[in-house]
């Protein structure tokens, strides 16, 4: 990535990620903008970008799936570095780091029990009938499947490669900053945790040129969270 073409590409990537996350946030919160110019007025209902399936796919977020994963992958295919998606670049210590980070992630899930702010955001379903628990677990896992891979790919491949090549010393910081800003809609303590985790994940990813550790750890936390909500 060099010259004017490289600059245009990195700015395109940054703007794409910013706009996609902004639209998703506005849609998720049901924001509506109304404009009144006398005889001419209209409104924008951002919930129009909340694309969910029907029936068994009611919790599948198609907007996230398309704009976080499908489009970024399509844009990256011509020059994809496939080494990001295997284990050939791992060092022996990375396996121990993986287990340690998964353990920290599980502890963070269990901390919901002791932090009222998080418990309000993640209410327990442990008192529900068994069939309801299974349904909720399925819905949570389906929703997670619709966005998790896209979140990691969009941030720690699509965005990270662009900004790290353009601004090698500090460009990687834009990734955890982006993640933290998106989590402003969550509890402050979760936003702070995402920022710290984002720094750790991104430093590892840019050092190893690999996506697998953040993806596995993040996935483990989400699976643990889904199980926690229906059991505890």
pLDDT tens digits, one per residue of 3-13: 566 789 999 99
Write out the two tokens for 72. 């970024």
CA gap 210, 208 in Å, rounded: 5
- Note the pLDDT of residue 1: 41
Torsion of CA 101, 196, 215, 209, to 10 degrees: -100
Q: For residues 125 and 133, is the Cβ–Cβ distance under 8 A?
A: yes
Tens of pLDDT, residue by residue over 121-179, are 999 998 999 999 999 999 999 999 999 999 999 999 999 999 999 999 999 999 999 99
**Per-residue pLDDT for 113 more than 60?**
yes
- Note the pLDDT of residue 4: 61
Token pair 């590409």 is found at 9
**Per-residue pLDDT for 232 more than 90?**
no
Bridge partners for 43 per DSSP: 34
* Alpha carbon separation from 95 to 74, 83, 92, 203 (Å, rounded): 30, 17, 6, 16
């Amino acid at each position: 990535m060099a010259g004017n073409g490289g600059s245009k590409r990195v700015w395109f990537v940054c703007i794409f990620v910013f706009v996609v996350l902004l639209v998703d946030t506005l849609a998720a919160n049901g924001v509506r903008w109304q404009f009144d110019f006398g005889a001419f007025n209209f409104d924008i209902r951002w919930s129009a970008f909340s694309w969910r399936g029907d029936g068994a796919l009611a919790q599948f977020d198609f907007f996230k799936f398309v704009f976080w994963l499908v489009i970024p992958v399509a844009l990256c295919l011509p020059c994809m570095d496939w080494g990001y998606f295997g284990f050939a670049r791992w060092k022996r210590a990375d396996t121990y780091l993986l287990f340690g980070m998964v353990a920290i992630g599980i502890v963070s899930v269990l901390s919901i029990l002791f932090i009222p702010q998080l418990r309000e955001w993640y209410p327990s379903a442990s008192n529900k009938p068994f069939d309801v628990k299974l349904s909720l677990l399925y819905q949570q896992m389906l929703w997670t499947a619709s966005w998790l891979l896209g979140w990691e790919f969009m941030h720690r491949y699509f965005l990270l490669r662009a900004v790290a090549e353009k601004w090698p010393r500090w460009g990687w910081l834009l990734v955890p900053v982006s993640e933290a800003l998106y989590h402003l809609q969550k509890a402050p303590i979760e936003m702070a945790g995402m920022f710290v985790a984002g720094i750790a994940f991104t430093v590892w990813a840019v050092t190893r040129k690999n996506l697998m550790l953040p993806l596995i750890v993040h996935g483990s936390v989400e699976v643990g969270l889904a199980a926690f909500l229906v059991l505890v």
